[in-house]
Amino acid sequence: MSTLSFSESLKTGLQIAQSFAKEYYNEKYSIAHLLRGLLHKDVGLTTFLNGLGKDIGYMIEWAEIRMEESPKVSSLPESPVADSKVSSVLEEADNIRLKLGLDDIEPICVLAALVKPNVGFTSDQLKSFPLKEKEILDLYLSDMSLMASTGLNSKDNLGQGAKPKSNSGSLLKYCIDKLSLAKEGKLDNIIGRDKETRMMLEILGRRSKPNVIITGEPGVGKTALIEGFALSLHEGTVPEALKGAVLFELDLGALVAGASYKGEVEDRLKSIIKEIKEFDKAILFIDEIHTLLDPKGAAGGGAANLLKPELARGEITVIGATTLD
């Protein structure tokens, strides 16, 4: 947690969470205290949550019920520290910060991490909580786009004081976070492809040019191989060099959708590359990679040229899948 960078509004939320822990005679503050702290009016998320049409009173009550379940002590520490689940939530919030292109972890990042199943709260616990990660990030990105286009920056509208960047959030708009899907149990294990998986891990473990191309006829399981790899990353059953890596799949449909001017697809890809390079270990999976190489393809042949220098320098790792043709 010491290496994470918090915004001033998040620091306020953490201090409020500590105050609630002392009020409830808890030795440490938990994810329930953290959620209650974020919902305090001084943090600045209330206007944002009202924009989602959410009952903040119910959410506060939901957090307080779980705060009551925390073990009580007779002798309180001067400053309650975070428990292990809070640390996990803040680490996930840092990943969300990178996807949003923010400089510091903002309250909105932590809120999105808190409502992500099995990061802090379990899937069963979140069934009764009226907020989902996707709706938080969708509204946030639409607010950012609106404010970037109008040149405004409002703490109330965005729920925090972050200044929107023109191309921020490209990973969320145009990529699929395969590791998040693995954490949520939405991916299936791959069976009978041990040799191919081992070969892929060996290539990804190289010091120079650790890029993979998967070829095969349609339907043989090229994408399934990546899903199995995502599960291995989540479970930590990968070589040491790959532990802690994140895996994104480029959504080619979203990348080209609505591109109205020449070079817009290339601009979007540039912003994706820029954001993905901010992660310590990030892998980009491109299915049907030949569409980026074909000058007559929907994405335009220029898109692949953006990847070539990055691959040559080894600044990003790419897995491509294509048919034998």
DSSP string of 2-55, one letter each residue: TT--B-HHHHHHHHHHHHHHHHTTBSEE-HHHHHHHHTSTTTS-HHHHHHTT--
Q: At 33, which amino acid appears?
A: H
Q: What is the mean pLDDT of residues 4-10?
A: 93
Helix (H) or strand (E) holding 81: strand 81-82
| Calpha distance 25→141 (Å, rounded) | 38
CB atoms closer than 10 angstroms to residue 275 = 24
Whether pLDDT at 107 is above 50: yes
- 260 against 298, higher pLDDT: 260
| CB neighbour list of residue 59: distance below 8 Å, 6 or more residues apart | 35, 39, 49, 129, 130, 131
pLDDT of residue 296: 58
CA distances from 2 to 5, 87, 90 (A): 8, 10, 11
- 89 against 191, higher pLDDT: 89
Percent of the chain with pLDDT over 90: 34
Residue 118: φ, ψ to 5°: 70, 10
pLDDT of residue 294: 66
Q: Which of 202-206, 247-251, 255-259 has the highest mean pLDDT?
A: 247-251
Structural domains of the chain ordered from first start: 8-158 (1.10.1780.10), 170-322 (3.40.50.300)
Q: At 271, which amino acid appears?
A: S
**DSSP letter assigned to residue 240:** G
What rounded mean pLDDT belongs to the chain?
A: 84
**pTM above the 0.95 mark?**
no
Q: Which strands form 175-177's sheet, in the order they lie side by side?
A: 175-177, 246-250, 282-287, 317-322, 212-215
Which is nearest to 164 in space by CA: 141, 184, 135? 141
Per-residue pLDDT reduced to its tens digit, 126-167: 999 999 998 898 888 877 654 444 443 444 444 444 444 444
How would DSSP label each residue in 176-216? EEHHHHHHTT-SPPP-S-HHHHHHHHHHHT-SS---EEEE-
Q: Which residue has the tokens 């915004």?
A: 7
Which is nearest to 286 in space by CA: 310, 260, 258, 313? 310
CA distances from 294 to 89, 218, 251 (A): 42, 19, 17
pLDDT of residue 301: 56
pLDDT of residue 30: 96
| Calpha distance 173→162 (Å, rounded) | 19
